[in-house]
Structure 1
Amino acid sequence: MENNTEHVHCLIIGSGPAGYTAAIYAARANLKPVLYQGIQPGGQLTITTEVENYPGYPEGVQGPEMMIDFEKQAARMGADIRYGMATKVDFMEPPFKVWIDEEKLITADSVIISTGASAKWLGLESEQRLNGYGVSACAVCDGFFFKGKEVAIVGAGDTAAEEALYLSKLCSTVHMLVRRDQMRASKIMQDRVFKTENIKVYWNTSTQEVLGEKKVEAVRIMNHETNTTADIPVSAFFVAIGHKPNSDIFKGWLEMDDAGYLLTTPGTSKTIIEGVFAAGDVQDKIYRQAVTAAGSGCMAALDAERYLAMKGI
């Protein structure tokens, strides 16, 4: 095992906007960061097509292309970017231990966790096939592309209600598909949905298939009470059944909320363990935007730099 161990000053786990921004700042501060990209290099943005709301790209940019830009910038600053996934950690004491792909052991003076979150999907073949072609897990990111069109959204919690309301301002009709005979969303959010004339709620309804060859053209729904199916013509299908933070390997080491989001000291990236920091969607269930993730990656690198300076490491 010894020859498969390496010590690093600053280890960054994950490669979305948070991880790459942390790498840019950490490299410039001469922390010699090593970044492991994880299972999905570039993170959730690599399954997005057009990104129009990130500052500095006046013409918009493709999600994967934007992540390549982030990666190139981090590499140019001197960050050591590698393929590989963190599979186990031991945060008992510094230097912290992180195993990569279950075989290589990295010991690190500081760790920045930016493992992100993954959207929950319904699990339909058509949903995956048309992902980026009208199927989306982010109304705030993609709603704009369907201005004046009819769209469908599936979900029953606060996020689904919020996204349906957001879409109602842009789209002609929002068909909201709710699996049960009631919503989980808070009373105030439900009231807003019911008061919005162009949101049509379908109770006891599940999605059977997203229809369309090259892009979303309709959604096939089934009513559980009547056992009948119907096709609703729509241009987009939004899935808002929640996100799952990629935090499983930190269970037992770091504090997290009921959904698994890592808890940080408000206004910082600090976790309960001194020297371990968290940034981006793994600790942010409220905003979940590329620009906020990048901002928190910057915070994590600055927090790590101060911690290492204070420890004299």
Structure 2
Amino acid sequence: MGKEKTKCLIIGSGPAGYTAAVYAARAGLKPILYQGDQPGGQLTITTEVENYPGYPEGITGPQMMTDFMNQAKRFGTDIRFGYVNKVDFSGPPHTVYVDNGDVIEADSIIISTGASAKWLGLESEQRLNSKGVSACAVCDGFFFRGMDVAVVGAGDTAAEEASYLAKLCKKVYMIVRRDEMRASLIMQKRVQSLENIEILWNTSTEEVLGKDEVEGARLVNNVTGEKSEIAIQGFFVAIGHKPNTDIFKDYLDLDSSGYIITEKGSTRTNVEGVFASGDAQDNIYRQAVTAAGSGCMAALDAERYLAEKELAVG
């Protein structure tokens, strides 16, 4: 334990963090990476990944993250278990505090803490996660071609997911809690124009049905209290994501949803020497390949920043 110094510290794993580590390590920055409370990030709860280039046969999310981690290790990244629970960005250098007592002073910091999907909080939803329950239609919709599925949510994300699934699936139920949607008018019109989408208004989910895989959902009408069941094979929760950025809010500019704001065309934050990548700053694409790309950008930005700093001192 105790205080250490490093040129480059990466907070969080997943595609962004591990890619940043590969680039930073190859640039000779000898990065330290703390994996966070979910090593590998959201992909570790994803079964099959078929849309990442270079894996023609597909790959499981956990195996893919192990491959990323091993590649980062190969070039000398110091990968550690640990969760950063406090930061002091009043430097540079900047200081971070880890739950195991480590204190790291870093000349540059790359944030790749990701985001977590919001869930309904049902026991059945968690039990059947990755067994028909998903929080990403673009990631998993392909596996439900020709099947009946449901999407929970009423915002633009839910409308986009329902529209995407409508191209692949036989029937899409859209479960909306109130008698109106929060989605933009254009997205509402798109959903309502698709014949195989049925919107269930004033409806909540009581339970996802199925023992080893999703077989249906038990619903309740919020006005009448009447219960009903639908037969489905896929259950998509689209009620939003929460970026894992709370510990940075005293120092970094965040948008209204908590995503880190970066300079356009860059991963630079409002704090000198601090860079953000992946789903912690991307509320639009949220894909493994875009996260990896931004991790590469963050490492290159950090490398240039450190080089310029050394030149200025020299």
TM-score by length of 2: 0.98
Separation (CA, whole Å) in 1 of partners of 2:251 and 2:154: 32
Correspondence for 1:287: 285
In the alignment, is residue 19 of structure 1 matched against residue 17 of structure 2?
yes
1:1-313 correspondence to structure 2 within 5 Å: 4-101=2-99, 103-312=101-310
Match for 1:120: what amino acid?
A: K
Q: Is the contact made by 1:87 and 1:102 (CA closer than 8 Å) also made in structure 2?
A: no
- SS for the counterpart of 2:242 is strand
Aligned amino acid, residue 135 of structure 2:
A
- Amino acid of the structure 2 residue aligned with 1:262: I
CA deviations on 1:179-232 (whole Å, 9 max, x unpaired) are: 011000000000100111100000110000000000000011000122111110
What is the alpha-carbon distance in structure 2 between the residues aligned to residue 311 and residue 225 of structure 1? Answer: 62
Partner SS state of residue 7, structure 1: strand
Percent of pairs identical after alignment?
69
Matches of 2:59 and 2:90 in 1, distance apart? Answer: 42
- What are the superposed Cα offsets for residues 61-97 of structure 1, whole Å, 9 maximum, x if unpaired? 0000000000000000110000001000000111101
**Secondary structure, counterpart of 1:32 in structure 2:** coil
Q: Is contact 2:17–2:295 with CA below 8 Å preserved after alignment?
A: yes
Q: Which residues of structure 1 form unaligned runs of 5+?
A: none
Take 2:25 and 2:225, find their aligned partners in 1: how far apart are those partners? 59
Measure the CA separation in 1 of the matches of 2:223 and 2:296: 51
Contact kept in structure 2, 1:113 and 1:279, CA below 8 Å: yes
Q: Which 5+ residue runs of structure 2 have no aligned equivalent?
A: none
State the distance in 1 between where 2:173 and 2:141 align: 14
Query: After the TM superposition, which parts of structure 1 deviate over 4 Å for at least 4 consecutive aligned residues?
Result: none
State the secondary structure of the residue aligned to 1:266.
Answer: coil
Residue pair 1:88, 1:102 contacting (<8 A) in 2 also = no
Q: Distance in 1 between matches of 2:118 and 2:89?
A: 29
- The TM-score, its normalising length taken from structure 1, stands at 0.98
- 3-state SS in 2 of match to 1:169: helix
1:103 is displaced (CA, Å) by 2.3
Deviation at 1:102, TM superposition (A): 6.3
In the alignment, is the contact (CA less than 8 A) between 1:50 and 1:62 conserved in 2? yes
SS at match of 1:22: helix
Query: Is the 2:24–2:30 contact (alpha carbons within 8 Å) kept by the matching residues of 1?
Result: yes
Q: Is the 8 A contact 1:254 1:272 kept in 2?
A: yes
- Relative to structure 1, the CA distance from residue 255 to residue 102 in structure 2 (aligned partners, 3 Å threshold; closer, same or farther) is farther
**In 2, distance between residues paired with 1:226 and 1:102?**
51
